[in-house]
Chains A and B, each alone.
Chain A
């Protein structure tokens, strides 16, 4: 079945550095991908919608200069957390929907970011 792969699964970085997270659709093309952040109390917050070949659409309250999204091909979207701070530590998950109507939505394995 369709698979979305996310890399890395875990990353630890120092405050002030930048971290890039990759999200790939392995056997299908995804014009649109979604980036979520999962907080300790489980809720998944949609951060942004990544659009191939155009600018991402950010949800209210999400800093676009801090969370840079690039969707350069139909199978790859990247999220870069710039100048990371400890409060950016979280579980980040990407998703892509399969097909014209996106009936099935698949998720990556998630990336656990820890900023020290």
Chain B
């Protein structure tokens, strides 16, 4: 079945870049997502990438996709303390009636 794996923790210093990695198994995945969850809150959609793209950049966020290796990464440039949160990688097909499959989330801790 489908599976999405992430490392559980990442700790960085303020101002450094953070790279959160994710691997997935479903080769039919069409969309790959990154969500941010702050304590006690719901999931905030950060960005997503279509499977025929290699890279997507949005301000401080850069998403890299290696479809051959089924590897997705999220790079946060100039990481701030406000970026401390749990980051979830998710994958899905391009059907509105299909749920996203999530990884277990990576807790990013940013120290000043």
Q: A residues bordering B, Cβ < 8 Å?
A: 6, 31-32, 34, 36, 41-44, 46, 49, 51, 93, 95, 97-110, 112
User: Does B102 touch A at the CB level, under 8 Å?
Assistant: yes
By size class, the interface of chain B is 20 to 34
Given A41-B104, A107-B35: A102 touches B96 (CB 8 Å cut-off): yes
Q: Are B100 and A105 in contact (CB under 8 A)?
A: yes
Cross-chain pair count, CB within 8 angstroms: 66
Known: A6-B42, A34-B99. A105 touches B92 (CB 8 A): yes
Minimum distance in angstroms from B10 CB to a CB of chain A: 14
**Which chain B residues lie closer than 8 Å to A6 at the CB level?**
42
- Does B110 make an interface contact (CB < 8 A)? no
Chain B residues numbered 13-44 whose CB sits less than 8 Å from any CB in chain A: 31, 33, 35, 40-44
Contact A104 B45 (CB under 8 A): yes
Query: CB-defined interface of B42-81 with A at 8 Å, one 1/0 digit per residue?
Result: 1111001000000000000000000000000000000000
- Option from B35, B92, B104, B107 in Cβ contact (under 8 Å) with A43: B104
Q: Which residues of B contact A101 (CB under 8 A)?
A: 94-96
- C-alpha spacing A6/B33, complex, angstroms: 21
CB neighbours (8 Å) of B95 from chain A are 101-102
Q: Which residues of B contact A108 (CB under 8 A)?
A: 42
Chain B residue with the shortest CB-CB distance to A1: B45
The 7 closest A-B pairs by CB, nearest first: A102-B96, A107-B43, A109-B42, A42-B105, A110-B42, A101-B94, A32-B97
A93-B43, A109-B42 are contacts. A42–B104 as well, Cβ < 8 Å?
yes
Complex Cα distance, B43 from A114, in Å, reads 20
- Asked if B104 contacts A95 (CB within 8 A), the reply is no
B43: which A residues are within 8 A, CB to CB? 93, 95, 107
**B80-112 to A contact mask, C-beta < 8 Å, 1/0:** 000000101010101111111110110100000
Closest to A42 in B: B105
Q: Which residues of A contact B96 (CB under 8 A)?
A: 31-32, 97-102
Q: Kindly identify which residue among B40, B42, B101, B107 contacts A107, using a CB–CB cutoff of 8 Å.
A: B42
Q: Which residues from A are CB-within-8-Å of B107? A: 42
